[in-house]
Amino acid sequence: MIGDFHIHTRYSYDSLNEPKKVVKIAKKRGLDTIAITDHDCIRGAILTKKYEDYEITVIPGIERKTDAGDIIGLNVTESINSFHWRDVIDEIHSLGGIAVLPHPYRGHRNILELAKNVDLIEIWNSRSKPDDNMQALELAERLKKGVIAGSDAHTYNEIGNVSISLDYLGSTKFKFYSKKLARRTEKVFSYVIGDIRQKKFGLIPYHLSLLVRKV
């Protein structure tokens, strides 16, 4: 299994990726498994699942915002309605899903408690800083948790930036491949998409300035 387990489609507020094209690109980049994890929405995952074939498996999922940061549910086909992080994990499990802590050191609090209660820890995310990813790996090793990795792709160019080879989902034996770190331009692009779709036009100049500062 060589997969990218954190991909967004246009059903996330900050992405324009079409489900059918996501599958097409993933196959071209040598992936045989992908997980669709849109923000607070299961629709993109269900739609993308329709395009899987003998070459690629699509795992439906959702990235749910909680009071302690985002938690991903994999292998779920229903929306997650809870908000408190413990309730979200319980709801994922009640649906037969796998609870994942994505990018632990980006946007989370109560990290240790979250990590103890999820099933898997995302040890590499191509939108996170390398130091944050190394901390995530150390956290997983310390707690003896299963691991997973993903590009966190919000644009087509990011799909497969990170892939991980697993004997089975959650295996502690893995090899991961980081083709490149996500480009700053891709991140800024997704921010601007989110600003437009949420009609937060006043934030657009600020987000564009992030790109200028980087250059």
| pLDDT, tens only, 79-122 | 999 999 999 999 999 999 999 999 999 999 999 999 999 999 99
Q: 47 and 151 share a domain? A: yes
Name the pTM for this structure.
0.84
User: Of the segments 155-159, 179-183, 198-202, which one has the largest average pLDDT value?
Assistant: 155-159
Q: 156 and 209 share a domain? A: no
Q: 172 and 210 share a domain? A: no
| Residue 192 pLDDT grade (very low, low, confident, very high; cuts 50, 70, 90) | low
Q: 40 and 134 share a domain? A: yes
Q: 86 and 108 share a domain? A: yes
Q: 118 and 201 share a domain? A: no
Q: 127 and 41 share a domain? A: yes
| CATH number assigned to the domain comprising residue 176 | 3.20.20.140
Is the per-residue pLDDT at 182 higher than 50? no
Is the per-residue pLDDT at 172 higher than 60? no
Domain containing 166 equals 2-182
Q: How far apart are CA 163 and CA 176, in angstroms?
A: 6
Q: How far apart are CA 166 and CA 82, in angstroms?
A: 30
Is the per-residue pLDDT at 175 higher than 70? no
How many domains are contained in the chain?
A: 2
Q: How many CA atoms lie within 13 A of 68 on its CB side?
A: 21
